[in-house]
């Protein structure tokens, strides 16, 4: 996830993602299931949680810039191995996709491969990954309306697999120790050089940061 000030989940479910990520300045969750919202309220007292239609919430929200929307809706029935039915039909998926395409912010959407999603989101970036389900491992897809970010909101999960993540964490710890042992002016000089390099790297490829495309 790229940096963001406002985090919105219109299909909160069990709030697993919201609880796992670093919180934003403002955290908003919506779900039609009252029981799940009430359970989330007990675990997320500072979040703004609402029982209601997540799509309608997105359509009526006042966008001010710095928002990120993550959607994990009930997957299309034709793509699921489970026969459990949800009150989320093809028309609801179509309505959701139309709403997401109109949003002036970062959007991430999870699902399985389908012609509806592939055709509608053909201009979005697509990331595939393996995920465990009750029927075994399946390939899930994450669609994003922004290019691969050069900065992240949360660096704790950076790296491909446990070993690489541990190596990155150790590297960060070593550099943090070196920085803390430097003379103050030398530390400030290094930080200034890093800021300059960051601006040079991000300026030509800057993704949406102000709520506009």
**98, part of any domain:** yes
What are phi and psi for residue 137, nearest 5 degrees? -75, 135
**104, part of any domain:** yes
pLDDT tens for the 213 residues of the chain, in order? 999 999 999 999 999 999 999 999 999 999 999 999 999 999 998 999 999 999 999 999 999 999 999 999 998 876 766 655 567 889 999 999 999 999 999 999 999 999 999 999 999 999 998 888 777 788 899 999 999 998 999 988 888 888 998 998 899 889 888 888 989 999 889 889 888 887 777 664 444 444 444
Structural domains of the chain, count: 2
**156, part of any domain:** no
Is there a single domain that holds both residue 110 and residue 179?
no
Q: What pLDDT, on the 0 to 100 scale, is given for residue 2? A: 96
Is there a single domain that holds both residue 100 and residue 179?
no
**213, part of any domain:** no
Q: What pLDDT, on the 0 to 100 scale, is given for residue 116? A: 95
pTM check: above 0.85? no
CB-based contacts of 194, cutoff 8 Å, min separation 6: none
- Residue 191's domain spans which residues? 162-205
Cα 133 to Cα 54, 98, 111: the distances in Å are 25, 28, 13
Is there a single domain that holds both residue 88 and residue 59?
yes
Q: What pLDDT, on the 0 to 100 scale, is given for residue 88? A: 84
Q: What pLDDT, on the 0 to 100 scale, is given for residue 198? A: 76
Is there a single domain that holds both residue 172 and residue 117?
no
The per-residue pLDDT for range 28-73, each reduced to its tens digit, is: 999 999 999 999 999 998 999 999 999 999 999 999 999 999 999 9
Q: What pLDDT, on the 0 to 100 scale, is given for residue 83? A: 56
Q: What pLDDT, on the 0 to 100 scale, is given for residue 206? A: 44
How far apart, in whole angstroms, are the C-alpha atoms of residue 12 and residue 93?
A: 16
Of 13, 146, 166, 184, the closest CA to residue 68 belongs to 146
**157, part of any domain:** no
Is there a single domain that holds both residue 58 and residue 107?
yes
Domain CATH for 73: 3.40.50.150
Q: What pLDDT, on the 0 to 100 scale, is given for residue 20? A: 94
């Amino acid at each position: 996830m790229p940096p963001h000030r406002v985090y919105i989940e219109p299909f909160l479910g069990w709030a697993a993602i919201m609880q796992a990520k670093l919180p934003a300045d403002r955290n908003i969750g919506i779900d039609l299931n009252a029981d799940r919202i009430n359970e989330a309220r007990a675990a997320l007292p500072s979040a703004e949680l609402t029982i209601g239609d997540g799509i309608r919430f997105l359509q009526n929200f006042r966008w001010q810039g710095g928002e990120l929307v993550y959607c994990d809706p009930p997957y299309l029935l034709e793509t699921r191995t489970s026969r459990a039915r949800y009150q989320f039909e093809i028309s609801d998926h179509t309505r959701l996709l139309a709403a997401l395409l109109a949003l002036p912010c970062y959007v991430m959407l999870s699902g399985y491969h389908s012609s509806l999603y592939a055709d509608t989101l053909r201009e979005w970036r697509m990331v595939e990954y393996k995920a465990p389900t009750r029927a075994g491992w399946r390939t899930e897809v994450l669609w994003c309306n922004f290019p691969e970010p050069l900065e992240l909101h949360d660096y704790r999960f950076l790296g491909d697999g446990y070993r690489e993540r541990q190596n990155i964490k150790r590297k960060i710890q070593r550099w943090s120790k070196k920085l803390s042992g430097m003379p103050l002016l030398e530390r400030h000089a290094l930080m200034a050089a890093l800021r300059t390099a960051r601006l040079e790297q991000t300026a030509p490829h800057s993704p949406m940061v102000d709520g506009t495309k």
